Chain A
Amino acid sequence: MTTLELRNVSKKYRIRGSKEMLALDDVSFTLESGKTIALVGQSGSGKSTIAKIITQLETATSGSVLLDGVPIPRRGRALRAYRQQVRMVFQDPFASLNPYHTIRHHLERPLRLHKVVPAAEIDAEVLRLLERVRLAPDLVERRPHELSGGQRQRVAIARALASRPGLLVADEPVSMLDVSIRLGVLNLLAELQRESNLGVLYITHDLATARHFSDEIMVLNSGVVVERGAADDVILNPQHPYTKQLRDASPNPDVLFAKTKGASRA
């Protein structure tokens, strides 16, 4: 059981030398193994900033981040162990893989860095990872530009899971994929989460998939958590005006159909 807790985390950015921008304002939540939390908000709400702080690509200006009750390590072996436990899937499948290297390279690196399996078994483990994400084994020697967007994202997921982590941050994992394959990738993520009992932070701007995929939903607006609760509650019974706006903005086929019927009669 792994727990990641954010306590009163704020993040300020400096722009143009003198001006400051508050990206996150007093955000607190807990991520646990076995549960999926969706972080919903529009562009600029601070969702990616949270992802970067959790994966230590950025540091919080104030507040603390705790892994299993201990403030997260910043260097050395402890940091290495942290990186083994907490992994990320990036938004852009075209940019998150190094165009120069093979798929094998991408999957081997975390295996080697975190000594997941003995050296002799690395090749077998790479193939096993590919199988887990439903990709054909002959993709190992290919390069990213030879794969489709969906395939690349599956590789990115495999890379994230390679180190056998306890927690996964998925930063809008399907928003740059074709709509027709989004569900497939999301279902894969759900299945892998169940198999490995992962705690997943699913970052998205799409309420519908948030509800489908997660246990809890947090709504973020301009760096502030405006609402949180069980997924169904937040969607069906939103309290905060912003959440209501989000819900109303989602296209509802029944409403649309009724409208067009009315228009054609006029």
Chain B
Amino acid sequence: MSVTATGVTDAVPVSVSGRSFREGFSMFRNAKSITGLSILAVFTLLAIFGPLIAPYDPDAIDLLHRNEAPTWGHLLGTTHMGQDILSQIIIGTRGVMIVGFLSGIFATIIAVLVGVTAGYVAGAKSEALSALTNVFLVVPGLPLIIIVASQFEDPSVVLIAAVLAITGWAWGARVLRAQTMSLRNRDFIQAARVNGEPLYRIIAVEMLPNLLAVIASSFVGTVTAAILAQTTLAFVGVTPISNWNWGTILFWAQSNNAFPDKWWWYLPAGLCIALVGVALALVNFGIDEYVNPRLRSAGMRARALRKRGFKPSDSATAVADTRN
């Protein structure tokens, strides 16, 4: 009896992916993506219904209950002015989610327009777009955002999202250009040209659906970066502190010496940021595994081999020995 890698693979079911519009979202069907999406769903609900759920007004001052550790009345304790931290977190969710996703949408749209076009057209035009992308890659994001944001008195949510998008689209564009270039030489694209398909249809109808996974991954990455950037900006005090978001909470915490004692003040906000980040990363993993089935089945196959007593990293001769 010979145990080959392929023999074991046949025994372990690996789902075949279908690709209709509905099934296009099968990239989200694995456990990692679902976990990530569920966490995001919770935060989205918080963002939408925040003002209804929050027990107190986040700005409301209550001098009788200052600097209190968590109690039943204030589940996450209070600030130095008696403000309820739980409410601040709940209300703050909206700002974070909106800016994060808006920025992701803007950046992804730009990345798709520039990247896919650069990948499809050849020669000088493509190099020019690639050079443009490079310029935006090279210009350092955070310093630029700080410089630009500090120019405005009261930047709106849309403005902040736009600035973050402008500094963040280049990475996705680069990846999309590479993917489109490899897609372009595939036979089915040539067949579309022989059909006489107009250019816009070749890009929009023939190429784009095959790029969905890459676009989704780039979107998720941009949202993560935007959320981190935005909370950092708020923490540093560059964006106005009148809008509540998790970074603002940490700004106040730091200015009022919450570290290290008043853990209820600074821990939840940071954890929330990390949690959203983890959720987004999980979705990204899910997409990665969908695109690269090797990642998906690698662990399964190795475990299956182990159950049979073989170590997957041993060389073939070792397998022969254990048989004897």
Direct contact of A and B (CB under 8 A): yes
Distance to closest chain B CB from A72 (angstroms): 13
Q: Which residue of A lies closest to B186 (CB)?
A: A95
B193 in contact (CB, < 8 A): yes
A196 in contact (CB, < 8 A): no
Interface contacts (Cβ under 8 Å), in number, total 58
For this complex, into which size category does the number of interface residues on chain A fall?
Answer: 20 to 34
Q: Which of A75-119 touch B at CB < 8 Å?
A: 79-80, 83-84, 87-88, 90-92, 95-102, 109-110, 113-114
Q: Which listed residue (B190, B197, B206) contacts A57, Cβ 8 A? A: B190
B195 in contact (CB, < 8 A): yes
Q: Which listed residue (B190, B193, B194) contacts A87, Cβ 8 A? A: B194
B209 in contact (CB, < 8 A): yes
Cβ–Cβ contact B206 & A83, under 8 A: no
Distance to closest chain A CB from B200 (angstroms): 13
Cβ–Cβ contact A114 & B191, under 8 A: no
Cβ–Cβ contact B188 & A109, under 8 A: no
A145 to B293 CA separation, bound complex (whole angstroms): 16
B309 in contact (CB, < 8 A): no
Known: A88-B191, A98-B210. A109 touches B19 (CB 8 A): no
* B20 contact set on A, CB distance < 8 A: 102, 143
A114 to B195 CA separation, bound complex (whole angstroms): 9
Distance to closest chain A CB from B41 (angstroms): 27
Distance to closest chain B CB from A90 (angstroms): 5
* B312 contact set on A, CB distance < 8 A: none
Q: Which of A118-159 touch B at CB < 8 Å?
A: 143, 145, 156, 159
Cβ–Cβ contact B187 & A95, under 8 A: yes
Distance to closest chain A CB from B206 (angstroms): 6
Known: A100-B209, A143-B19. A95 touches B197 (CB 8 A): no
A57 to B19 CA separation, bound complex (whole angstroms): 28
As a 0/1 sequence over residues 176 to 193 of chain A, the CB contacts with chain B under 8 angstroms (1 = contact) are: 000000000000000000
Known: A143-B18, A143-B19, A145-B16. A100 touches B210 (CB 8 A): yes
B260 in contact (CB, < 8 A): no
B196 in contact (CB, < 8 A): yes
Chief secondary structure at chain B's binding surface? helix
* B16 contact set on A, CB distance < 8 A: 145
* A102 contact set on B, CB distance < 8 A: 20
* A57 contact set on B, CB distance < 8 A: 190, 193-194
A222 in contact (CB, < 8 A): no
Cβ–Cβ contact A97 & B188, under 8 A: yes
Q: Which listed residue (B24, B188, B195) contacts A113, Cβ 8 A? A: B195
Cβ–Cβ contact A90 & B187, under 8 A: yes
Q: Which residue of B lies closest to A84 (CB)?
A: B196
A125 to B163 CA separation, bound complex (whole angstroms): 52
Known: A98-B210, A100-B210. A83 touches B196 (CB 8 A): yes
Known: A90-B190, A96-B187, A143-B18. A109 touches B197 (CB 8 A): yes
Q: Which of B172-198 touch A at CB < 8 Å?
A: 186-188, 190-197
Distance to closest chain A CB from B31 (angstroms): 24
* B206 contact set on A, CB distance < 8 A: 98, 101
Q: Which of B158-180 touch A at CB < 8 Å?
A: none
Report which residue of A80, A88, A159 has the largest number of chain B beta carbons within 10 angstroms of its beta carbon. Answer: A88
Cβ–Cβ contact B196 & A114, under 8 A: yes
Q: Which of B186-236 touch A at CB < 8 Å?
A: 186-188, 190-197, 206, 209-210
Known: A143-B18, A145-B16. A110 touches B187 (CB 8 A): no
Distance to closest chain A CB from B116 (angstroms): 15
Q: What are 29 A-B residue pairs whose CB atoms fall within 8 Å in the complex?
A: A55-B194, A57-B194, A79-B196, A83-B196, A84-B196, A87-B194, A90-B187, A90-B190, A90-B191, A91-B187, A92-B187, A95-B186, A95-B187, A96-B187, A96-B188, A96-B190, A96-B191, A99-B19, A99-B188, A99-B210, A100-B24, A102-B20, A109-B195, A109-B197, A143-B18, A143-B20, A145-B16, A156-B191, A159-B195
- A-to-B contact residues, CB < 8 Å: 55, 57, 79-80, 83-84, 87-88, 90-92, 95-102, 109-110, 113-114, 143, 145, 156, 159
Given A99-B19, A100-B210, 18 more pairs with CB closer than 8 A: A83-B194, A83-B195, A84-B196, A87-B194, A90-B191, A92-B187, A95-B187, A96-B190, A96-B191, A98-B188, A98-B192, A98-B206, A98-B209, A109-B192, A109-B197, A110-B196, A143-B18, A159-B195
In the A-B complex, list the 9 residue pairs whose CB atoms are closest, starting with the nearest. A83-B196, A95-B187, A100-B209, A96-B187, A98-B188, A90-B187, A100-B19, A55-B194, A88-B194
